Amino acid sequence: MARCDVCGNDYDKAFQVTLQGQTKTFDSFECAIQAFAPTCAHCKCRIIGHGVEAKGKIYCCAHCAHESGAPELRDRA
C-alpha cells in the first residue's frame, strides 16, 4: 500500500502524479487537486479547469479577472 502525501491515508489504490519533475502519491483526486491545482488570484478557489491568465496571474474565470483589473478577458471567445 502507499501513503497519500496530502492526508496521510495508507491506501491500496493510491496513485502517483508527476508534474514538472515532482512526483507525489495520492489516495484521491481531491488530495491531488489540493497539492497541484493553482489558486485563483482573486477568490482563492482551486482551479481545476482551464482558468484564464492575465498579467502573469491565473484566475478561475473571467469575472474574477475583471474584478482584479483585467476586463479584456472572456470565458468564451
Contact 15, 5 (CB under 8 A): no
pLDDT digits (tens, 9 = 90+) for 22-34: 999 999 999 999 9
Q: Where is 29: in which H helix or E strand? A: helix 29-36
Work out the pLDDT band at 72, boundaries 50, 70, 90.
confident
Cell 479577472, located at residue: 65
At 39 the pLDDT is: 97
At 73 the pLDDT is: 80
pLDDT of 63 over the 90 cut? yes
Work out the pLDDT band at 77, boundaries 50, 70, 90.
low
